[in-house]
Amino acid sequence: AEGQVIYAGKCAECHGKDLKGGVGPSLTAHLKYGEQDGPKYESIAKGRPGGMPAFETELGRDRIWKVLAYVDSVRE
């Protein structure tokens, strides 16, 4: 539940409330940098070229994992 709240506040503006994209890509489709936990974590923590900002400092490790758990629960 906490991951959903964090997603709504930090991610939904670009990735959409339903994770289906908008400014940023859909998180329910194939993920460009990989669908394993490591690359997904890296995308959020360090950002990606072309628009994905880094959130490691702002969110920290535990909150990033909570967002990933929420995203995974919607993807499945």
- Residue 74 pLDDT > 90, yes or no? yes
The identity of residue 73, as a single letter, is S
What confidence category does residue 50 fall into, taking pLDDT thresholds of 50, 70 and 90?
confident
Q: Which pLDDT belongs to residue 24?
A: 94
- pTM recorded for the entire structure: 0.92
- Residue 76 pLDDT > 80, yes or no? no
The predicted-structure confidence for 4-44, as pLDDT tens digits, reads as follows: 999 999 999 999 999 999 999 999 999 999 999 999 999 99
Q: Which pLDDT belongs to residue 51?
A: 87
Place of tokens 């400092």: 57
In three-state secondary structure terms, 48 is strand
Radius of gyration of the chain (CA): 11
Q: What's the Cα-to-Cα distance from 71 to each of 1, 9, 18, 52, 62, rounded to whole Å?
A: 11, 14, 10, 16, 14
